[in-house]
Amino acid sequence: MEHGKFRTSGIVGCYGFVKVCCGTVARRGRTMVMGRRMDGEFADKFSVAPMMDVTDRHFNTFARSISKHATLWSEMLVDSTAIYNPERTERFFKLGEDVRVGPTVLQLGGSDPNKLAQAASYVQDFGYDEINLNCGCPSDRVSGKGCFGAALMKTPDLVADITARMSAAVRETVPISVKCRIGVDDIDSYESLRHFIETVSSKGGVKRFVIHARKAILKGLSPAQNRSIPPLKYDYVYRLIDEFPDLYFTINGGVSVSKAFCGLRIGLVLLSSNQGATEIRA
């Protein structure tokens, strides 16, 4: 069920992950696949990313015991913590051999290109396959006082500068990706999202985008509310897949159980080719 420009995977929460790995996938195999390898860099089919206060090294060790194929994410690591508290950083973020048997992502947070490049250089030896820049967190501590996370979507040129410097600071075998929303506050049109993707990919060298298909509202909603109240717009991501065939997209948001995961999979196959629609009808 891999067709043409179909370069997308999905993120599930920890509860959904257990259901997917222990239930449907075990019985139905590849029917749950939502992505494919692109040039050897991105091999994940689905990701496990409840993240803050959840995806520590202990959780990821447990998750890896369930699946050797899921992409496991770290909690967000702030650049200044990596730089100025290296002992704590290594203790909590360096991966054990038992987790490294499958794909992994370490996420960095910050807005200073030099600090993020320094942090990326330091953590590249922690055993992760990919380093991700957080451009999607809506919390006041991050996007408000910290001026990073989802707030970075307002400055695509800065994000491109950050990712370019991060890429230059790490080995070529460690790709830099971006996790973002479809928009932020009143900057929520498809055209704005397209401009962000085009700028960061062309100027910043990013090939992979993990997109939470909701916009972030930075004032008036809590992080929990930002995960449920802004409406999902998967069609924005589908349009990006069509317009940027050389990029790799992962859909996030509303994917908490295997049924939702399968629904996205079917929608993407229908989008990618008429042959896919024929196979589904058959």
H/E element, 107: strand 104-109
Contacts 24+ apart (CB under 8 A), 257-261: 257/12, 257/15, 257/16, 257/19, 257/20, 258/16, 258/19, 258/20, 258/23, 258/24, 258/25, 258/32, 260/16, 261/10, 261/12, 261/16, 261/20, 261/32, 261/34, 261/46
Question: Measured over all CA atoms, what is the biggest interatomic distance in the chain, rounded to whole angstroms?
Answer: 58
Of 218, 212, 223, which Cα lies nearest the Cα of 255? 212
Instruction: Determine whether 135 is an active site residue.
Output: no
Structure tokens given for 83 = 């730089």
Report the C-alpha gap between 91 and 210 in whole angstroms: 27
Report the C-alpha gap between 73 and 51 in whole angstroms: 7
Residue with tokens 């029917």: 31
Q: Choose, from 21, 135, 137, 180, the residue flagged as catalytic.
A: 137
Residue with tokens 């380093």: 131
| Catalytic residue IDs | 137
